[in-house]
Structure 1
Amino acid sequence: MTRADGVQEMQRLRDFLSVASDWLWETDAALRLVWLSHGFFAVTGLAPEAVLGLSCVALDRRGADHPDVRAHLADLEARRPFRGHRLELVDARGRLRILEAAGRPVFDPDRQFLGYRGSAVDVTHEVELERALRESEQRFRSLVTNMRGIVFYRGEAGPGPYGYRSGLSLYGADVWEIAGANETEGEAPVTRWYQAIHPEDRPRYLELERRRKEHGEPYSLDYRIYHPATGELRWVREVAWVSCGPAPGQRFFDGYVLDITEQKRNELALRESERRWRTLIEAAPVAILVAEDGKITLANRSAARLLGAASPEQLLGCAIARFRTKGERLAVPAGTEEHPVQVWRRLDGRRLLCEVGEVELTEGERRTLQYVLVDLTARIEAQERAWYLALHDPLTGLTNRAGFADRLAHALAVRTRRRSRLALHLIDLDGFKEVNDTFGHAAGDELLRQVAQRLRKVVRNTDTLARLGGDEFAVLQLDIAGPEDAAVLAKRLLDGFARPFAIDNQDVHAGASIGLALCPDDAVDAETLLRKADLAMYRAKEQGRGTFAFFVPMLDRMLQLRRAMDAELRRALEHGEIFLLFQPKVDLEDGRIVGAEALVRWRHPGRGLIGPDEFVPVAESGGLIRPLGARVLELACRQLADWRRIGLALPVAVNVSAAQLREDSFVDRLERLLRHYRVEPQLLGIEITESLLVDPGHEQLDQRLRHIAQLGVEVAIDDFGTGYSSLLNLKRMPVQVIKIDRSFVAGIGRDRESESIVEAMVHLAHTLGKTVVAEGVERDEQADFLRARGCRLGQGFLYAPPLSAEALPAFAASRSSPVVAAR
């Protein structure tokens, strides 16, 4: 062989070694590994320096004391060849590897021992499969051996025999006899089993067996079988099938038999128990319902009668919610915590008052509710009638004195918690005695009934109207803002007496005097409040009847103050004491001024500067709000004209009251002002309150606002979020700007609810295509929050306080380029 042939042969061997599943190894005379082929390191991931120099025994994780390791070591010391030796080692990833090795000793020509050479292969996967198979067979044998029944298996050829396993718990030692075999044989002719089957069940059994054998159909059958020794009839359940063998076309007929005698006895007892239970339910005098997943699944005859059904079957499948009314309260307390009285409805809609026992049963995902209903309708309705008569006036149907005292006590307790205000109106008829004397008591009763009907039409559902006795009535008015609300209601109550009453085909005139006391202004307890209202009522009679009067001390103070301020305000309008300040609106991104809001002030000659919170309510109650609003609008237009002459064109927004907008001449007056002062409409804006969005006359207001918008005047909703508004009207009306009230802006950085409300308002405005202006911006964190949410405009002391008309131009000039907000 040439050198080239030798090199080629060596390369061929290396190629074989690189792809072979086995690898080669070699030791020295001390049995230390001196060489391993590449396959070993590829499989184990171990580095050569971690393995070479070690003995095979040292690599085995089991150690030298393990019997297999000791036997292998003996072979090596005796220099015997070996095959099939398995050693266990841990690879680089910590996994157990099982290697199967073969080797033979190597000697030199003088028979000196040089070491071992051999091969090895990784058999980890094969060993794991063998172990899993052994464990599976062991579990199967344990399962079969411990079954409470008999397991049969039979080959396809011939009529038998059957093999069996287990079954001792089924028939005891007699299992051998019933199977027709002895313990050692474990086989039985099939006919012995067939003969033990009850004659009535045998045909069905044989038919199923035939179909299994001929067509391979499995079956499960419950049948009776006689015990071979005692003759006792027992129930068994046989499950049989056909399985395929390893050879082509080979089949096995397998199955098992379980003793279900006790189960059958329990089923029979359960059916009997259910029969007795259904008989008891059907005969029960109370209504019984069972509902599953909200649907009625069982109802007795009493339930059908109670709910107005023709038969119990008519109720099956009906939703229980159809009959059960939630949230409807009784007029009188009834029932107990364990068995409350609930309001149910018959199929015809009539009300039922039932004491209800309710039990919930849960089985897996099934939820069953059982109801027992006792009809208490007649008894409770009688109690409700008695309760009603105890608290109501039988003549008028109104609350009586006892009921009113209860309502008043409750209202006072609620008012204390909510810190609200209420008014008590005592109404006494004027001339009632004359009607009684002239037309008789029947006419007097009819007058009282008609008075009650008219008063009912005036008071709200949340208020309480009562007849305290004789010709005296009372109204409890809740949640008032102040005396003005009470006065408005008192006037409406008196208006109900303007028309004559028709009694016995005659017009009868009757009036009333009303006394009012307020809580907590006049009193906080019921007795004192009633006494002061009574005093006020007599004061009204002294003033000429047919009128109303408040409790005197509070009324006198208010009347004096309001009359004085009203007179002074009229003088202020005539003498030019009303003037405007202007609070800048700025771009929150760069601080540039983009407009201003006109704020009205009163420069009182004696008291100094008076804010609008003090004098605007006086203007509203005294009929001065319209001239005051007209004065403010004219001052704003005049100032815009003055600024224009010095080169300042800055938009100004003016607050306009609902009373102004309701004036038919408002739009014409606005146009005249714009023409007179030569003001561009785009420089003027009006701000209205959001309550106008739900104004009863919103359609007329909508037309006026559209006319104003067509002029080019901007329309804004002021203090948005503090009142009630209609989103539909907000979308429909020509509103370009929404101003977020300062109360919400103040909560930014301190109140998560306020922040959420502001976010929602900004999102709503952007969705509707409106511009957003934030009022009351006073801190940097407020401005940062608003900018981050997309609110571009704002006003507040962070940028500037309200400024005079003379100071604003200089401020505007300083803000003509982006600046940092003023501190």
Structure 2
Amino acid sequence: MALSNSHTPQTKRPDCCVGSGEILQRLEALLALSCDWLWETDAQHRLTDIIGKDGRVRCLFQSWIGRPFWQLAESCASTKHGRSRLKDDFELLRPLTGQVCRVTGKDGMALFFQINGEPRFDEDGNFLGYWGVAQDVTERERLSRRAMISDQIVRSTNAVVIVCDAAGVIDWVNPGFEQLTGYTLPEVRHRKPGDVLQCPETDRETIRQLGDAVRDGREIRTTILNQAKSGRKYWLDLEIKPVRSPDGDLIGFIAVQNDITELLESRRRLEIVIENMAAGIVLHGSDGNIVAANSEACRLLQMTEDQMKGREVLDPSWGLIYADGRSMGGHEMPSSIALSTGEKVENQMVGVRKPNGAVQWLRVNAQISGASATHDREVVASFVDVTEEENQKREREATRTLLKEVIETIPDGVAAFDETDRLILFNEAFRQYYLNSDVKLRTGMRFRDIIEKGLQAGFYADAGETDTEKRKWLDWRLHQHRNPQEVVVQKLTDGRWFQIRERVSSSGIKVGVRSEITALKQAEDDLRRIAETDPLTRAATRDIMLRSLAEVLHPEATSVSKAVFGIVDIDDFKAINDKYGHGGGDVILTETVKRLTEVVGLQCGGLVARLGGDEFAFLAHACGREGFLPEDFTALHGQLCQPVWVDGQQVSPRASLGVAHIPADGQTAGEILKNADLALYRAKGSGRNTWKTYDPKYRRCLERRQILREALQQDIKDKRIGVAFQPQVETGTRKLVGFEALARWSHGGTAVSPEEFVAIAEEMGAGCALGAVVIERACEEYGALIKSGVNPGHLALNLATSQLSDPGFSDWIDALLARFPEIRGRLEFEITETVLLDQKSDEITRNVRWLHAAGIGLSLDDFGTGYGSLKHLWRLPISKLKIDKSFIRDIGTDANVDTIVQTMIVLAHGLNLEVVAEGVETEAQLEFLLDIGCDSVQGYLISKPMTLTHYFEYS
């Protein structure tokens, strides 16, 4: 079908006046007689119809309708720019001429269509769309591509390809031919290959065979020598095959050639090498018979090649023997084994017995040859004469056997290493030296390998723990072995000790003797242990602990970050000695060491030492853990405080514990010791019977504490301690019932908390003196107020442990009341449960009962925060309870606290005790306490602590 080439929209075309339906009917009639299809698009380039023979194309490509043609084409073989160019042609209204497009059919197969088309316009020049024809050219494209691929394969192959006509005249050659021969296709076309390539050295018989095959139209394969255009001669593996027509007529030949020049030359070189080798070479056929032998094989076996050919492997006349003298049968020969099993035989020692009785020793290798799989199996055997070497070896073995028998009688371990440091001789005693290690001794082992295997098995006790330490020890031991200068003393992890003496001979042989000295070392250890152990507790001494600390802190020690050092002090040990005697005290000391050892002394090399008196130290390693947790120290402290039986009585020791982490808390043993001592000091300052870990702020606190200590000591002496008074009122009426006197002290213009300076005073033994100053000052101000006509109610004062445990306390109170008679009947002392738990409980109890008898009220302070509160309520003459502010603070926010406070008040009232709530700060708290019957309260809601004068002036 012909289409116009015009593409100008304004052009008036005669056929535009004809209806498209009529035109389509005409075209459809024509297409019914052809293999073309008609296609049509609208003005948006969308396919609107496809018409072909019997309507098959429309049915097959129904899904194409409504889509632009360029969306259907996967590629356009006839354009340089693919389907993007096709889209441009449509949108620019260009005629389409011979475009070949690739699409995929419903069956997934690739189809190729050649399309032609041109735009359609109406009579006014308006674009209506395209119409055109498409032809299925799939088979043509496939054949074209197959031909291109085949041509590319032939051109790309390295083999030489020649195409000749039926007369053997060259019609075509591939690039491989041109590269090999140097001749181009125009130079050899219309000529026979032999006329161009053969040279005088080419075998005439081969030429004749090739000519006969071409004349007869037969296939032939042969090897031939040719000559290139440059004059270079080369060998070819040549294969010629005839090409016939479908009717069987000869139409030409195809010759394929491969250059095998290098292969043949390599084979000739190999033959020369084999013939001149210093080893005998024998080739056995698949039947075992010798088919070839080189000149060295003939010389060694004293036969000619002709004499050897045809002899069997199993020939009994060989007279062969094994290395141990046993006869070797024909089937046991290396060649026979290789032939029967296909396995390679290497370095087989074979003896050939001579008629005079002498033996010729041969070292034999045998293996299947690398022949083609189509050939029969052949075996290549090679052998060298090692008679002299073997005889010398046997003489050495005899000498070595004698020497070994001699050294086996020596009780010490003996071993010898050659100049390459390989083990050549050792006795049973040397083997016993490595009895408890993974080292499996055998001759030929390197000394370094033996030592390293022992290191890996943890055999050497003095090799260190870290990889760095072990490498350093290994280098030292190798140096001592190669350059022995002194006797080496070595401890093994199984507890044995050895003394090693080594020497190197002039020939480089190293001989070592290992003598066991375990008994001697144990005696030395016993003496050292006595000098380094506390005779009572069996703990280490202070010097040993400091030495161990220094080792842990060594820069190369890997366990540094996983260790702790602690100091333990038994609280009030003097009281234990006083009550149970020194024998009882010794029981406590011994049990403390035992418990420390159970917890830390046996873990990864931990250590327990007695520093002196009732003070102990421990060094513990984390044993592979990340570090130590608080619960570890809590558990340790709990273990130390478990009851101990002393003379049939249970004694519950109390201990203070200070801990320093290594190396975070110090880089030297002195620093660690000092910082652990600071932590212990902190534990004692926190009321004792507890534990603390070192904190850098402790040192700052210690320095500050020392300054405060000196200033407080002077201010107590000069009575420069102030007193503040906090009122206590009835809960319902808020009527004043009394005051609690509180100590106040400032240093450098800054107030110091009572908790801090009271603890400092107690620590330096000035607790009684501080309490006396506060009590005297409070009584003096209270007495003056009463004399002025004011009724301030009762005066509550806190008593410290040191005051209540002072045997002269009662006499001092008598003198106080004589000086200030106005306060008699108003004085009330507050004591805490902690005070009642002091070791001097008997003295404290006596003083408490005396105060009650003297008409001085007693109040149990901080009720609910101590231990054993209920016991104190009925054992001691308490008249009042003070609920601690920690409970009052949570009133109304925690139902459990509300219940506890209410229970405390009910309990107190049931025992006829008054209840005071301290720390009341809100109206809600006061209202709750009023509802549950609390007698009186104090706190910031009522008033802050202040001077008496200030209170009465502004209240």
Q: TM-score, normalised by structure 1?
A: 0.37
Q: TM-score, normalised by structure 2?
A: 0.33
Q: Which has the larger radius of gyration?
A: 2
